Chains A and B, each alone.
Chain A
Amino acid sequence: MKLLALDTATEACSCALLCDETQFERSVMTTRHHAELILPMIDEMMQQANLRPQQLDAVVMGCGPGSFTGLRIACGVAQGIAFAAEVPIIPISSLAALAQAAYRDKGMTHVLAAIDARMGEVYWGEYILGENKLMQLCGEEIVCPPESVKLLENSAAYGVGSGWMAYNTVLLKALGTVTAISVETETTYPQASAMLPLAAAAFEQGLAVSPELALPIYLRNKVVHGS
């Protein structure tokens, strides 16, 4: 299976390539240069793998939640490549990518992924390890004030993501003391490489969609004042 993944939802700008047994990746941190960086990164990685877009099986896109503009950069690039290569897109949540990376890198099996949503809110998703070493969502992903997050699974959990940097104390207080929660500071931003195993499974389950149907998941939909 050959999958190209990209994510520009947060301050991280990353891409990864699954080329049968081999994996490649690129990742940089940037505040607002994702548009300038992402295609050169993809181009260099594809050249290293000696692969053309038309040889891909699908494009994997970090669909959010995250920065609105960032989500559309990833979506626009994924749509352009997938359309031209005549392959489908597999949208993967940036919170799922955080959770999967926490399992891959630290063996964490219960992850509370939080991305700083600004305006006093977090994007929030609770994940536990499911079948085939893949992290699975409990309930649904939401955007909410850090004071209102709730725990759905009762086992020791790890907090990952930029939301924990911004609202560590408030989040811990909201979740209470029944369950032990440790905050993991190394897995801060979603990475395209962590989307690959989730995407490969989704692809085999037939969850890839036509490029024009792959759209950002903003979660925050109230964007006009007073509406």
Chain B
Amino acid sequence: MRVLGIETSCDETGVAVYDLEQGLLGHCLYSQVELHAQYGGVVPELASRDHIRKILPLVREVLTTTATTPQQLDGIAYTAGPGLVGALLVGAAVGRSLAWSYDVPAIGVHHLEGHLLAAMLEDPAPKFPFLSLLVSGGHTQLIKVLGLGQYQILGESVDDAAGEAFDKTAKLLGLGYPGGAVLANLATHGDPKRFTFPRPMVNRQGLDFSFSGLKTQVMTTWKAQASQDEQTRADVARAFEDAVVDTLVIKCRRALQQTHLTRLVIAGGVGANQRLRQQLSALANSLKVKVFYPRPEFCTDNGAMIAYAGCCRLAAGERASLGFNATPRWALHNLQIPRTATK
């Protein structure tokens, strides 16, 4: 079974081809990040306008580079939500219509299910069940993953997502938007001992996170500095990053101990953060669990994870109706376990 996957939920247009027997055949991505940077955030209408310009050239490119003929396609997957409704509708319209015209089934994929399963594109791939740490600009969640569509949220951020905290903190340190990755890079030159920020909610029971207070702490500290020189900026960045990473690691440790799961899978854009990866690997070593990371380009939004998740659901017999739609708000735990195909 070979599936074309389309991702358009936010500001990246991603298209990929996944084959159940041969694995990922190819993928391509167009990022709008520069377009939105000048506005300090994603402008939904501009994002939608860019998706409709880029989507078909990317589909053509990926079909060509993977030497996939229309006859070889067994299904089309597109991100159906959550995300920006106008952006989602572009991918859904093109994806659902391609499937109708090729006379193959279509499937609307949950964007976060795509992220949760992105590590499956790597070798070795994790086996079910596993603990997933989903950390992105929109989400910070610890999820017990029992199988396809079986997701139990163990804890999540009560306010800002980790990636959002990175971007907002970068902005107030004058690193531009989206500056999360710039901040992480700057932090490598920072002195870890000069400032210390609290690790939010680690003294409380449970597995929830909170990052908005940390951002305020950074702002107060930064404004109090007589000399806002480059080294001070790097030192603050380092202390911020350490606080976020530590918090994530502490909660992962707690979740692994509570669930007795032996596999930890990272998902989402913050999963590309090097310090987080180092610390989680150290944690995994100490607890004798295996940790799995998608390659950095599959941590951020991409078409490959949608092609993969869509392929799994299509293989299980799930089908989208001919009328398509976008679901901008869609809780992960509301996902259904696909019934095995009857035909």
Option from A43, A72, A85, A227 in Cβ contact (under 8 Å) with B52: A72
Judged by a CB distance under 8 angstroms, whether A39 is at the interface is yes
Q: Do residues B94 and A68 form an inter-chain contact, with CB atoms below 8 A?
A: no
Residue interface bits B101-128, CB-to-A below 8 A is 1, else 0: 1100000000000000000000000000
- List chain B residues, Cβ under 8 A from A77: 93-94, 96-97
How would residues 26 to 55 of chain A score, 1 for a CB under 8 Å from any chain B CB and 0 otherwise? 000000000111111011000000000110
- Chain A, residues 55-80, CB within 8 Å of chain B (1/0): the string is 00000000000001100110111111
Task: Choose among A76, A215, A216, A223 the residue that contacts B97 (Cβ–Cβ < 8 A).
Answer: A76
Which of A36, A53, A76, A218 is in CB contact (< 8 Å) with B325? A36
Contact yes or no, B323 A39, CB < 8 A: yes
Decide if A84 is an interface residue (CB 8 Å cutoff). Answer: yes
Chain A, residue nearest B88 (CB)? A35
Interface flags, A90-124, vs B, CB<8A=1, else 0? 00000000000000000000000000000000000
Q: Is the CB of B98 within 8 A of A80?
A: yes
Interface size on B, as a range, is: 20 to 34
Q: Which residue of B lies closest to A53 (CB)?
A: B101
- Is A224 located at the chain interface by the 8 A CB criterion? yes
Determine if B53 is an interface residue (Cβ-Cβ < 8 Å): yes
Specify which chain B residues have a CB less than 8 angstroms from the CB of A38 in the assembled complex.
323
Structural contact, A80 and B86, CB atoms closer than 8 A: no
Let me know if A212 and B57 touch, CB within 8 A. yes
Enumerate chain B residues within 8 angstroms of A215, measured Cβ to Cβ: 52-53
Q: How far is the CB of B116 from chain A (nearest CB, A)?
A: 26
Contact A81 B101, beta carbon cutoff 8 Å: yes
Q: Would you call B45 and A76 a contact (CB within 8 A)?
A: no
A42 to B53, alpha carbons, bound, how many Å? 24
Is B45 a contact partner of A36 (Cβ separation < 8 A)?
no
- Interface flag for B90 (CB, 8 Å): yes
Task: Determine how close the nearest CB of chain A comes to the CB of B111; give it in whole angstroms.
Answer: 17
Chain A contact residues, CB within 8 Å of chain B: 35-40, 42-43, 53-54, 68-69, 72-73, 75-81, 83-85, 211-212, 215-216, 218, 223-224, 227
Enumerate the 7 nearest inter-chain pairs by beta-carbon distance, A residue then B residue, closest first: A76-B93, A80-B97, A84-B101, A36-B323, A212-B56, A53-B101, A80-B98
Contacts A76-B90, A80-B100, A212-B57 known; list 9 others, CB within 8 Å.
Answer: A35-B323, A35-B324, A72-B93, A77-B96, A79-B55, A79-B56, A80-B97, A81-B98, A223-B49
